[in-house]
Amino acid sequence: YTATAGAQKKITDETEAQKKERMAWWAHDRFGMFIHWGLYALPARHEWVKQRERMTDEQYQVYFDEFNPDLYNPKQWAKQAKKAGMKYAVITTKHHEGFCLFDSEFTDYKSTNTKAGRDLIAEFVEAFRAEGLKVGFYYSLIDWHHPDFTIDRIHPQRIDEGSEADYDAVNKGRDMKKYRKYLFNQVRELLTNYGKIDIIWFDFSYPGKNGKGKDDWNSVELLKMARELQPGIIVDNRLDLNDYADGADFETPEQVKTEELAKYKGKMWETCQTFSGSWGYYRDENTWKSQRQLLDLLITSVANGGNLLLNVGPTGRGEFDYRAINALDGLGGWMHANSRSVYGCTFAPEDYKAPTGTKLTYNPETNRLYLHLFEYPSSGRLVLPGYKNKIRYTQFLHDNSEIGISAEGPSGTLKNEDLILLLPEQKPGMEIPVVEI
């Protein structure tokens, strides 16, 4: 998913400056919520369960029949997202299973025909907008339910050791041209019937033998249509349009470790991450990331000039898992006190180095640095390497309390260009305190 450097071909005539302006809110806001919700919330063992367990449509039908999200209240979701400090949300309007949470004219496989009896996306859009959050649609290019979507290596009915001829046989009667029509029709609906949509998150391409890519989706025309219907829309990079300079707006490093995020510095990017490994609700998955790990993901993303899209997988009743609620509340507590180090921030200028055990973000508008104390110095003394004569004032971000700075280190240990930060010996009661410089 790395856009080809120096790609010349272009799909639109937008300039770099226009793109920057179009994406300004997104680059500023930094923190969003991903929502993976569909029939897979019922088996509650990963959103790929149909493929992993090679279920037929008949076997999977029970989840459609039993889908009954009686506690669905997107106003509550929006409040929870907002409280956590998130500024936008991207929801699965349709995932690979093919089930639509919206009232599409082109299928019966949709929430309106379940016990839910209504368009769940319409309510979602209204609720999130009302809380002042931007709205994004995830749309799966892959569709395991559509009768014209050809079976390949990631399909539930895949042939694991199949030859080309085996695939031809199993795909007899399936017609990707018809599926393409369906795909265009649905994307048109989504980008026409719900007001302004801020992001479209297509997922995903896997070009090659028994795979699918830009020719299968007609990605160039799909992207053109999206831009026509929603001129301001921001589009991810999973359409297999790497040959085009404007084939994607941002990169989507998925479930990567914090140490790997530095390599995206200088690009437009958003890392998507789960609380526990699965995107869809997974009842028995019990290794949830700690508060500190989640904060690390957020801070490290900003410290490398990127966004974090943190995923929640609501239950079959339409609520967030209690563990997700606790995690969001925790993030909200930290963000309440420290969001100034996140919004509008990016990586620090080259000549400001982060001391060991800290991570730096920087707001170019206000010319302030934010030093995140992942490790708190036991003496309260922290050397700021090369900061002498460059900084004016330092304070804790959470309470605006002054922190002293000194050019006098203990017995000549300080280099001439360094400064020392005189932190209180006692760490403030906060997982990761932030010094505003």
Q: Which is nearer to ligand JFZ, 38 or 318 (CB)?
A: 38
> From edge to edge, which strands make up the β-sheet containing 368-373?
358-363, 368-373, 434-436, 395-396
- β strands within 261-367, DSSP E: 270-273, 307-312, 358-363
Burial 266-286 (b: 16+ CB within 10 A, else e): eebbbbbbbbbebbbbbeebe
236 contributes a contact to ligand JFZ by CB under 6 A: no
Please give the size of the binding site for ligand JFZ, defined by CB under 6 A. 9
C-alpha angle 203-60-201 in degrees, rounded to nearest 5: 15
Based on CB atoms, which residue is closest to ligand JFZ, 121 or 360?
Answer: 121
Min dist. Cβ of residue 324 to ligand JFZ (A): 16
Q: How distant, in Å, are the alpha carbons of 164, 344, 386, 387 from that of 352?
A: 56, 18, 7, 7
Q: Which residues contact 66 (CB under 8 A, 6 or more apart)?
A: 42, 115, 316
CB-wise, 93 or 346, nearer to ligand JFZ? 93
The correct pick among 97, 119, 143, 203 for binding ligand JFZ (CB under 6 A) is 203
Closer residue to ligand JFZ in complex, CB, 203/246: 203
Residues 266 and 304: their CA atoms lie apart, in Å, by 8
Nearest-angstrom CA–CA distance, 26 and 344: 10
- Please report how close the Cβ of residue 204 comes to ligand JFZ at its closest, in angstroms: 4
Binding mask 368-387 for ligand JFZ (x = CB under 6 A): --------------------
Identify the residue among 121, 268, 272, 369 touching ligand JFZ (CB under 6 A).
272
Binding mask 248-267 for ligand JFZ (x = CB under 6 A): ------x-------------
| CB-based contacts of 100, cutoff 8 Å, min separation 6 | 93, 94, 107, 109, 110, 111, 186
- Residue closer to ligand JFZ, measured from CB, 251 or 436: 251
**Quick one: 143 or 436, whose CB is closer to ligand JFZ?**
143
Nearer Cβ to ligand JFZ (321/436): 321
Which positions from 42 through 81 interact with ligand JFZ, judged by CB under 6 A? 47-48
CA–CA separation, 148 vs 178, rounded Å? Answer: 6
**Residues in contact with 59: Cβ distance below 8 Å, sequence separation at least 6, in sequence order:** none
Binding string, residues 279-308; x marks residues near ligand JFZ by CB under 6 A: x-----------------------------
**Residue 149 binds ligand JFZ, judged by CB under 6 A:** no
Interface contacts to ligand JFZ, rule CB under 6 A? 1, 36, 47-48, 203-204, 254, 272, 279
